[in-house]
Amino acid sequence: MPAKDLETIVSLAKRRGFVFPAAEIYGGFANTYDYGPLGVELKRNIREAWWKSMVRDRDDVVGIDAALITNPRVWVASGHVSNFNDPLVDCKKCQMRWRLDHIEEGQYGEVKRNAAGDVTCPNDGGELTEPRQFNMMFKTQVGTVADEASIAYLPPETAQGIFPNFENVVASMRRKLPFGIAQSRVSFRNEITPGKFIFRTLEFEQMEMEYFCQPPADRNNPVEYLALHQEWINTRLAWYRDTIGIDASRLRIRDHEKAELSHYSAGTADVEYLFPWGWGELEGIAARTDFDLTAHGNASGHPLTYFDEDTKQHVVPWVIEPAAGLTRTLAVAMLEAYNEELDEKGETRVVLKFKPAIAPIKVAVLPLSKNEALRPAARRVYEMVRSTYMAQYDETQSIGRRYRRQDEIGTPLCITVDFQTVGEDGTPGDDAVTIRERDSQVQVRVPISGLLEALRERLPGC
């Protein structure tokens, strides 16, 4: 079973070095977190798993890494300067500030209304002010003179780093339609509402891909394009299930209502997860038509088209965009992996049952005790293992406590080096070690000479 509440994960994340509140010694900073030694590994592994499935395992997708701060005209053309707004409301009683759309979506629990039918403050039921539009992009300034001409923006998504590079990628990589360009990096949004841990933060990481395909023959009935959109929805849903290990019962696809769609969109579907507080978005898969390439082509005066060798015509490709949140997925990976079990002594065993490929530490090497006689063999095993797998060496505390610690951080395998390994009282050692599996707690004896092979069998995809 996954974690019952967010607090369980927040506390484990801090205690075990996954995620810390940012600048905690200064009282923290709203909606901002730092990733600790295990969090940074988990984040990297999730990103790697995404990159592998989206780029490396495919012939039709390439990656890029565009500048964060770029020509501000990009954000004018994309519509972000004028439209990337959220409706803000304040409670007239408690002065708390909210996003009206989030209240209406039920993100703060049951939607309460007054006698006139207007939504009220989720905190105390107070009357809310009229909504006012608030642009969520962070502004900064380039150069030493602060004037209109020096304004630049921190990117609120990664996609707009991809579109302006369309032609460069086509030309340099000799791409034929359909093909995709993927990018994973940090994005920034001036989020003003309480963030629910790393679900919603000011600074977060995204994993996005723009998949360019032939424009449809009939704009109003783009049958093949919509079928391709559906294919990407299925592919992305399967990734959360099979790669991140989310139970299918806590995943669903939600199609956006007509009213939610941007005017140019031919459809958007979200992959949603059943969070402890209800369903919430993990990824949006948007059918963006030719909106972005056309907008950037028009605004820059440099048409972004593709030359179709068959028809000898320039066309503006249509786009499908699977846009995922890396840091939000990390929160879900932790919620979902969390398990509490009773051991044989009736004590609670906390286990993060990560898929091996995303587990921060793959193997822990644990000498049975701190005894000097065990250390050389244990260190030798550790050196051997860590050349291939992210490994940890730990000889403090009792072996039982060290197993518990590794369970709690989700390490799939522990290797124990004991007196049988090194020999005792004149008897020669067997040069073998014990592998203990995290989930079954089954222990098997393996010769050190065959250890890497035994690990390989037990750590698929690592």
Instruction: For residues 214 and 316, give the distance between their C-alpha atoms in angstroms, rounded to a whole number.
Output: 8
Stretch that binds ligand ATP, among 66-74, 117-125, 201-209, 341-349 (CB under 6 A): 201-209
Compare residues 202 and 365 and give the one whose CB is closer to ligand ATP. Answer: 202
At residue 378's C-alpha, the angle toward residues 374 and 384, to 5°, is 160
Q: Does 207 bind ligand ATP (CB under 6 A)?
A: no
319 pairs with which residues across the strands?
Answer: 212, 289
Compare residues 327 and 406 and give the one whose CB is closer to ligand ATP. Answer: 327
280 pairs with which residues across the strands?
Answer: 273
Name the minimum Å distance from CB 183 to ligand ATP.
13
Name the minimum Å distance from CB 204 to ligand ATP.
3
Q: By CB under 6 A, name the one of 153, 204, 232, 240 that touches ligand ATP.
A: 204
Q: By CB under 6 A, name the one of 200, 288, 355, 362 that touches ligand ATP.
A: 200
| Other CB atoms within 10 A of residue 48 CB | 14
Q: Using omega within 30 degrees of 0 as the cis cutoff, is the peptide bond preceding 164 cis?
A: no
Q: Does 80 bind ligand ATP (CB under 6 A)?
A: no
Stretch that binds ligand ATP, among 41-49, 163-171, 280-288, 301-309 (CB under 6 A): 280-288
Residue 123 near residue 115 (C-beta atoms within 8 A): no
Enumerate residues 400-439 that contact ligand ATP by CB under 6 A: none
Enumerate residues 31-60 that contact ligand ATP by CB under 6 A: none
Token digits for 378? 């244990």
Stretch that binds ligand ATP, among 21-29, 275-283, 356-364, 413-421 (CB under 6 A): 275-283
Residue 325 near residue 283 (C-beta atoms within 8 A): yes
| Other CB atoms within 10 A of residue 408 CB | 16
Q: How far is CA 87 from CA 156, 197, 363, in A?
A: 17, 22, 48
Name the minimum Å distance from CB 187 to ligand ATP.
7
Instruction: For residues 367 and 345, give the distance between their C-alpha atoms in angstroms, rounded to a whole number.
Output: 23
Compare residues 283 and 418 and give the one whose CB is closer to ligand ATP. Answer: 283
Stretch that binds ligand ATP, among 75-83, 276-284, 291-299, 437-445 (CB under 6 A): 276-284
Compare residues 201 and 416 and give the one whose CB is closer to ligand ATP. Answer: 201
Enumerate residues 149-168 that contact ligand ATP by CB under 6 A: 157
Q: Does 282 bind ligand ATP (CB under 6 A)?
A: yes
Name the minimum Å distance from CB 270 to ligand ATP.
7
> Which stretches of 23-110 are DSSP H helices?
37-51, 73-77, 80-83, 100-104
Enclosing H/E stretch for 139: strand 139-141
Residue 282 near residue 331 (C-beta atoms within 8 A): no
Compare residues 191 and 290 and give the one whose CB is closer to ligand ATP. Answer: 191
When CB distances to ligand ATP are compared, the closest residue is 325
Compare residues 206 and 289 and give the one whose CB is closer to ligand ATP. Answer: 206
Compare residues 157 and 290 and give the one whose CB is closer to ligand ATP. Answer: 157
Length of the chain measured in residues: 462
Enclosing H/E stretch for 188: strand 179-188
Name the minimum Å distance from CB 272 to ligand ATP.
9
Enclosing H/E stretch for 270: strand 267-275
Burial of 442 (0-12, 13-18, 19+ CB in 10 A): exposed
Q: By CB under 6 A, name the one of 189, 296, 402, 438 that touches ligand ATP.
A: 189
Name the minimum Å distance from CB 71 to ligand ATP.
21
What is the crossing angle of helices 451-458 and 375-386, to 10°? 50
Residues 6 or more apart in contact with residue 426 via CB below 8 angstroms: none
Enumerate residues 310-339 that contact ligand ATP by CB under 6 A: 323-325, 327-328
Backbone angles phi, psi at 213, to 5 degrees: -140, 175
Compare residues 336 and 395 and give the one whose CB is closer to ligand ATP. Answer: 336
Name the minimum Å distance from CB 87 to ligand ATP.
13
Interface ranges with ligand ATP (CB under 6 A): 157, 189, 191, 200-201, 204, 206, 281-284, 323-325, 327-328
